[in-house]
Amino acid sequence: MNVKLILGSYGGGVVVDEELRGWRLGSNYSVLVRPSELTSLCPTKRDVWLVRRGARLCSGCVRRGVEYHNEVLTIIGQAVILGWEGLRRVLSSVKTHAGIWALTLASAWLSNGAVPPIAIEPKLPPAAGFTSSRPDLVIGSSPTEVLYSNGRSDYLRRKEVEVCAYGMILEALLKYPVDRGYLVVITDDGVSTEEVILSNSLREEVLVLRDEVARVLSSDEAPPIPSKCVEGCPLSKYCLGGSNE
């Protein structure tokens, strides 16, 4: 298996306007936004409004992605904490191609001398107009999200926005440039990594979406049902008056 090493980044090489750095950001709204809410499927953000008010996501809609996600983070976590001994402990529990990928990546890190500095699901305090949050990984200073994709390029694009939001939060907390993030993309056929450049345009998109979601959440009135619901929305039945059980 050909594995591209993820070594993280401490900034540099990307030109970013000063006013778009995380440490410069404020918000015009009292409601703080979750980074994951930027990537919601619904074009009117009705799904975000409903979840904040107690709606439950369809668990079966996301089960496979959660299994992949947890397996990858468990294996990498054992490598971070215990090194080779950690990998020996999880070897028998590797069940999927995503787990094999994580095992291979962690082994490559250790064979190259050491696992890079990694925080696994660190709890970040509120910053830059966002709530407290937990990126999947922070490698060096690079936020990294592990995701299952069924081939939808629009979903990958939304996750780039979420990674950028985490990068801006880290900048606000660290007072240090974060210019890159990563996506670990799991499909039914394999695993790949994508570098996300936290460019001016991506940062501007984050701020537009952040303020849009904050505006929606500030209202007591639910956003309208879109003219055409997005295929695969885990709240579609609930939203239209049914049950998500």
Measured CA distances, 65 to 15, 72, 185 (Å): 34, 11, 10
Q: What's the confidence (pLDDT) of residue 8? A: 55
The span from the CA of 87 to the CA of 78, in Å, is 6
DSSP 3-state of 122 = coil
The span from the CA of 75 to the CA of 87, in Å, is 7
Joined together, the tokens standing for residue 36 give 């994951």
The span from the CA of 236 to the CA of 245, in Å, is 12
Residue 234: phi and psi, rounded to 5, are -70, -5
Q: Each residue of 140-193: pLDDT tens digit?
A: 999 999 999 876 668 889 999 999 999 999 999 999 999 999 999 999 889 999
Q: Each residue of 64-88: pLDDT tens digit?
A: 788 999 999 999 999 999 999 999 9
Residue 144: phi and psi, rounded to 5, are -135, 130
pLDDT over 50 (residue 125): yes
The span from the CA of 22 to the CA of 193, in Å, is 25
Measured CA distances, 48 to 54, 164, 191 (Å): 10, 19, 29
User: How many percent of the chain have pLDDT more than 70?
Assistant: 89
What's the DSSP call for residue 10?
A: -
Q: What's the confidence (pLDDT) of residue 206? A: 97
Cβ contact 177:17 at 8 Å: no
Residue 185: phi and psi, rounded to 5, are -105, 115
DSSP 3-state of 99 = helix
Length of the chain: 245
Q: Each residue of 2-53: pLDDT tens digit?
A: 455 555 555 557 899 999 999 999 888 999 999 999 988 888 999 899 989 8
pTM: 0.90
